[in-house]
Chains A and B, each alone.
Chain A
């Protein structure tokens, strides 16, 4: 029988630093909740709003798969591998930190708010060579469809990472119903509602709610509003 955990939007960790308004679905920085440490290998789901021109100066990472999805605005990224790029809404960025990498992330626009999701997954292999990638996604392909935006396979749709994880984004018409089949036995799905209201496995979810489901091979999905937009993170439940 499937199991689930519901994280309502207003139960997330919250830190307002002025220039940065951050909501944490799982323990992060000074937000510590022993009941919210991870969902399988999904360790961080941060929903950050960053003022124009502001951001994070150069800082290091290691042994983590870091995925950034801008929801509004654009990010200016620079890293110690020599990458310098702007990632905007409709694109996805991935960084395998591996043995260690430093990067900076700033709101690329001085007069526009940046809203992004930053997601960290534990890798399935430690100390890999650091790597960076970004892709432009075909936004139209996610209309009434869970569009795959990330996988473990370099030749599959979306970016790839060092983990048996698949991410999908969908934008749905009111009343649209479908089923999502979990990609690998032993994986669970963490659904995060970007916009609108949806029902997943009988649970009604509003904007920025999260629902983790596991011990199942599929989930049922229905869009309750016209602007329903959801990110599904299909991840191993066992830590490597």
Chain B
């Protein structure tokens, strides 16, 4: 069964890399967007197991988005993704899911 992971980050290049990395593993399904509205729309439409917050999201926007996502999906796991690439990704996801 696939784990659905939603990534939100402001940098389009990094977001494209994250999309490639997340979908390279058959056990993960990655949905990667740059805007809060897109993330909230996806969360309304389908089940999400984990949210990764990427680069460039300011504090106020992060709080607002977290509140909206948690209102839609109480208990949803939301973590910070650091590094912008593959180095920390697997460990972050494994730690969050376990």
- Tell me the total A-B contact number using a CB cutoff of 8 A: 73
- Indicate if the CB atoms of A60 and B82 lie closer than 8 Å: no
Taking CB atoms and an 8 Å cut-off, the chain B residues in 49-98 that contact chain A are 54-58, 80, 82-88, 90-91, 94-95, 98
- Indicate if the CB atoms of B84 and A62 lie closer than 8 Å: yes
- Indicate if the CB atoms of A62 and B90 lie closer than 8 Å: no
- Indicate if the CB atoms of A122 and B82 lie closer than 8 Å: yes
- Indicate if the CB atoms of A63 and B55 lie closer than 8 Å: yes
Q: Select which of B10, B85, B98 is within 8 A of A60 by beta carbon.
A: B85
What are the interface flags for A28-47 relative to B under an 8 Å C-beta threshold, 1 for contact and 0 otherwise?
A: 11101010010000011000
Taking CB atoms and an 8 Å cut-off, the chain A residues in 144-174 that contact chain B are none
Q: How far is the CB of B55 from chain A (nearest CB, A)?
A: 3
- Indicate if the CB atoms of A27 and B91 lie closer than 8 Å: yes
Q: Select which of A59, A122, A127 is within 8 A of B85 by beta carbon.
A: A59
A99 at the interface (CB under 8 A from B): yes
When distances are taken between beta carbons in the complex, the residues of chain B under 8 Å from A122 are: 82
- Indicate if the CB atoms of A34 and B98 lie closer than 8 Å: yes
- Indicate if the CB atoms of A60 and B86 lie closer than 8 Å: no
- Indicate if the CB atoms of B88 and A127 lie closer than 8 Å: no
When distances are taken between beta carbons in the complex, the residues of chain A under 8 Å from B94 are: 32, 34
What is the interface of chain B mostly: helix, strand, loop, or mixed?
A: loop
Interface size on B, residues (CB 8 A): 24
How far is A43 from B87 in the complex, measured between Cα atoms in Å? 10
Of A29, A62, A99, A102, which is in contact with the most chain B CB atoms at under 10 Å from its CB?
A62
- Indicate if the CB atoms of A37 and B95 lie closer than 8 Å: yes
- Indicate if the CB atoms of A28 and B56 lie closer than 8 Å: no
How far is A99 from B57 in the complex, measured between Cα atoms in Å? 9
When distances are taken between beta carbons in the complex, the residues of chain A under 8 Å from B58 are: 127
A205 at the interface (CB under 8 A from B): no
- Indicate if the CB atoms of A28 and B87 lie closer than 8 Å: yes
- Indicate if the CB atoms of A127 and B84 lie closer than 8 Å: no
How far is A101 from B15 in the complex, measured between Cα atoms in Å? 12
Q: How far is the CB of A118 from chain B (nearest CB, A)?
A: 9
Known A60-B13, A62-B82, A100-B13; contact A29-B54, beta-carbon cutoff 8 A: no
Q: How far is the CB of A15 from chain B (nearest CB, A)?
A: 12
Of A28, A30, A98, which is in contact with the most chain B CB atoms at under 10 Å from its CB?
A28
- Indicate if the CB atoms of A100 and B56 lie closer than 8 Å: yes
What are the interface flags for B5-26 relative to A under an 8 Å C-beta threshold, 1 for contact and 0 otherwise?
A: 0000111011001000000000
How far is A25 from B98 in the complex, measured between Cα atoms in Å? 21
- Indicate if the CB atoms of B95 and A61 lie closer than 8 Å: no
A interface residue numbers (CB < 8 A to B): 27-30, 32, 34, 37, 43-44, 59-64, 97-100, 102, 120, 122, 127
In the complex, given contacts A28-B91, A127-B56, what are 4 additional A-B residue pairs having Cβ atoms less than 8 angstroms apart? A60-B17, A60-B84, A63-B80, A127-B58
A–B complex contacts, Cβ < 8 Å, 12 sampled: A37-B95, A44-B87, A44-B88, A60-B84, A61-B84, A99-B56, A100-B14, A100-B55, A120-B83, A120-B87, A122-B82, A127-B57
